[in-house]
Chains A and B, each alone.
Chain A
Amino acid sequence: MAHFVEQIIFGLTVGSVYALIALGYTMVYGVMKLINFAHGELFALGAFVGYIFLVTLNWGGLLGPALAIGCVAIIVCVATALAGHALERVAYRPLRHSDRLAAVVSALGASIFLQNVIMVVWGAQYRAFNASLLPTIVWRVAGQSVPLIRVFVFLTAVVTMAGLYLFINRTRFGLAIRAAAIDQGAAKLMGVDVRKVIAVVFLIGPALGGLAGLLVGIYYGQINFNMGQMYGLKAFTAAVIGGIGNIGGAMIGGLLLGLLETLGDAYISGAWKDALAFVALILILVFRPTGILPERVAEKL
C-alpha cells in the first residue's frame, strides 16, 4: 500500500508536466483546429534554454537555487513564447485559410526544423542537467516518502495552471479566446480580434510548454534534443483524453495519463508503459471522441 501511494504521487508529478504541455496543444487546437506538431519541440527548447542559464552559466551557484529557478523560469517562458510567436508567424499564419493537410504538413516541417536546430546547437548526446539544484529533501508523511522535488514540480505546474484557468475564465481576453475557440466567424462579428487571439494563444501555449521543459530538466537531470517527440505525443494524448479544445480537460487529462502510466509501469509492465498512452488514445477516440469533458463534438460521420 505504501508503494501505491508513492506511485500516485509520482503519477501526479509526471501528469502535471503532461498537463502543462497539453494546454498548449489544446489551446491551439481550440482556436485554429490545428495539431501543432512543433509544440513538443518548443517544450524541448524550454529545457535547453534552462540548460544555458542553470548549467552553462551556472546561475544556480551564483544566485542560490530559489532565485535562480525563479529567474530562469521567467526567461524560459519569454524565450519559448517568442519562439512560438515566430513559429506562428512563419509556418502557420500564411496557411490560415488553406487546406488542413497543408497546415499539418507545415507543422511537421516546423517540428523537424526545430528539432534539428536544437541538435545542431547542442549536439545529439544527452546533456546532464544540474541535478543538485534543489536540496534532496525527502519528507516522511504518515510513513510515505515525499521528495521535495516532486512536490516542487507538481505545485509549480498546478499554480501555473490555476493562473491560466483564472485568466481564461475571469478576464475579458479569456472570454475572447473562448469565443474564438467556439466559432471564429461569430467571434469576429462580435468584435473579437481573432488574429490577436491566435497570437496570444501562441504566446501562452509555448510559454507553458517551455516551463514544462524546464521542470522536466530539473526533475530528471538530463535532457536530449528529441525529448520533445515522445512528450509531445503523450501530451497530445492527454489533451485528447480531456477533450481537445477544452482547457480544464487538458489539465485533468494530463493528470490521468500520468497516473495511468505510472500505475501501468508499476503493476502491469514497464516495457509496455509507453504503449498504454497510445492504447488509451485510440480507445478514447473510438468510444468517446469528445474526451471525458465533452465540450465540442469531434468531427465524425
Chain B
Amino acid sequence: MSLARHPLAQSQKSQRLDHQRHDFRFLQIAGVGLFLALPFIFASLGLTSAPYILDLLSMIGLYALLALSLNVILGMAGLFHMGHAAFFAVGAYVTANLNLTYGWSIMATLPVAAVASGFMALLVAFPVIHLRGDYLLIVTIGIVEIVKIALTNDIFGWTGGPNGLIGVSRPVIFGYRVVKPHDFFYLIWLMVGISTLLFHWLENSRFGRALKYIKEDTVAAEGMGVNTTAYKLMAFVIGAAWAGMAGTIFASKMRAISPESFTFGESVIMFTIVILGGSGHQKGVILGAFLVMGLPELFRQFQDTRLLVYGAALVAMMIFRPQGLWPPKPRLYRLPAPYDQKYPGEEKLKDGDRSC
C-alpha cells in the first residue's frame, strides 16, 4: 500500500489543499470587494473619466450576464448555439414595448421579458433540438438572422423598423431611480452575482449533472434514462430567459434599441466570450467577458486593426488552448466508503476504482 493511498496521508493532503484553496478564496473575495468599491474609489480620487469607465464596466457586466446565460446552453449542455442575440432582442423589445405603449415600469417588465424569451426559445428550439453539433449551430444562426430581419421590417408594428424604439424609461427599484453610471454598475453586477449563484446551484443539481452527461455523451445519457430532449430544451429555455432579462436591462440602459444591436456578430461575441473564458466555468466566462469586451476598449487607438487581432487570437487560442483560459476543474465525487474497508483482503482489485 503506497503512502498516498493511506487514509491518514490522504486526509493530510486534502487538508493542505483545503488550506490553499482557502487562501485563494480569500483573494477572490478581496478582489470582488475591491471591484464593488470601484465607484467610491473613483469618486474619492475625483477621476474625470469615472463615468466612462463605470459605463464600460456595466457593459462588460451585461455581456457577462449574457455569456453566463449562454454558458448554460453551450457550456453546460454542450449545445452549439450561436443565436443568443435573438433571445436578447426579444427581451429588449418586449420591455421597450410594454414600457412605451403601456407605461409599465421597467422592473415589472423584467419577468415578462424572461417569460417571452423563454417561450420563444421553446418555440424555435423544439423542432431543431435533436440536431447535433454544427447543424444546430447553423440553424441558430438562421434564427438570429430571421429575427433581425423581422425587427428591421417592423413585425406586427412592434419593433419600429430599422430605427428601432426610442425613449425607454429608467428602472426604478424601491423608489430609487437608476440613472447614473454607478447605479447601473451596481444593478448589473448585482444581477451577475445572483445569476452566478443560481447557475452554480443549477450546475450542482440533478439538472446540472444531467446536462453534463448530455454534453459528454448524449447517447450514453439517453441510454441511462436521461430524457435528453427535455433537458436540452430546459437548458435552452433557461438560458434564453436570462438573455431576455439582460435585454430588459440593456433597453433601459441605452434608452434606445435598434436591430443593429442584435446581429449575428453580437451572437458571435457572446459565443467567443464563453469559449475563450472557459466553457462550462462561470468564473472563466466572466473573465472572458472582461477580455473580449474590455481589451478592445484599451486599444481604441488601433480601432481598425483590433478586430483583426481578435480574429487571429481566436485561431491561436483554439490551436494552443482550446479549453479556454480558465477551464472548469474536473468535478470530484466522494465515494460512499473506502473500498478496502468494506471488503478487506481484496486489495488487488482496487487499482483504479478510486476514481474522481
Contact = CB atoms under 8 A, between A and B. Distances in A.
B305 to A, nearest CB: 6
B127 A110 contact: no
Nearest to A111: B311
Interface stretch (B15-23, B39-47, B138-146, B334-342): B138-146
B131 A285 contact: yes
B127 A233 contact: no
Contacts of B308: 112-113, 116-117, 120
Interface residues of B, number: 45
B177 interface: no
Contact of B139 (A108, A120, A282): A282
A1 interface: no
Nearest to A33: B134
Contact of B305 (A116, A236, A300): A116
A285 B135 contact: yes
B319 A95 contact: yes
A212 interface: no
B139 A106 contact: no
A282 to B, nearest CB: 5
B131 A114 contact: no
B136 to A, nearest CB: 9
Contacts, number: 135
A233 B314 contact: no
B13 interface: no
Contact of B128 (A101, A116, A285): A285
B132 interface: yes
A108 B311 CA distance: 8
B312 A113 contact: yes
Interface string A47-79: 000000000000000000000000000000000
Most chain B CB neighbours (cut-off 10 Å) among A95, A119, A282:
A282
Contacts of A281: 138-139, 142
B307 interface: yes
A108 to B, nearest CB: 6
Given A109-B312, A112-B310, A272 B149 contact: yes
A111 B308 CA distance: 10
B264 interface: yes
A272 B149 CA distance: 7
Contact of A110 (B128, B146, B279, B315): B315
Contacts of B314: 105-106, 108-110, 112-113
B9 interface: no
B227 to A, nearest CB: 13
A249 B322 CA distance: 33
Contacts of A108: 268, 271-272, 314
Interface string B297-333: 0000000110110111111011100100000000000
B153 A272 contact: yes
Secondary structure of the A contact surface, majority rule:
helix
B222 interface: yes
Given A95-B319, A105-B272, A105-B314, A120 B305 contact: yes
B315 A113 contact: yes
A285 B138 CA distance: 10
B264 A289 contact: no
A96 B228 CA distance: 29
Nearest to A90: B315
Given A104-B134, A281-B139, A298-B131, A274 B319 contact: no
Contacts of B143: 278, 282
A175 interface: no
A165 B222 CA distance: 42
Given A95-B318, A112-B307, A286-B127, A104 B80 contact: yes
Interface string A111-138: 1111111011000000000000000000
Contacts of A106: 314-315, 318-319
Contacts of B133: 100, 299
B243 to A, nearest CB: 20
Contacts of B310: 109, 112
Interface in B201-248: 218-219, 222, 228
A98 B312 contact: no
B216 to A, nearest CB: 12
Interface in B247-299: 264, 268, 271-272, 275, 279
Contacts of B304: 116, 119-120
B354 interface: no
Nearest to B136: A285
Given A104-B80, A106-B319, A108-B271, 10 more contacts: A95-B322, A109-B315, A114-B311, A115-B307, A116-B304, A271-B152, A272-B153, A286-B127, A299-B132, A300-B132
7 contacts: A34-B134, A98-B322, A112-B268, A113-B312, A272-B149, A275-B150, A300-B132
Minimum-distance CB pairs A-B, first 3: A109-B314, A113-B311, A112-B311
Interface of A: 34-35, 90-91, 94-95, 98-106, 108-117, 119-120, 229, 233, 236-237, 240, 271-272, 274-275, 278-279, 281-282, 285-286, 289, 298-301
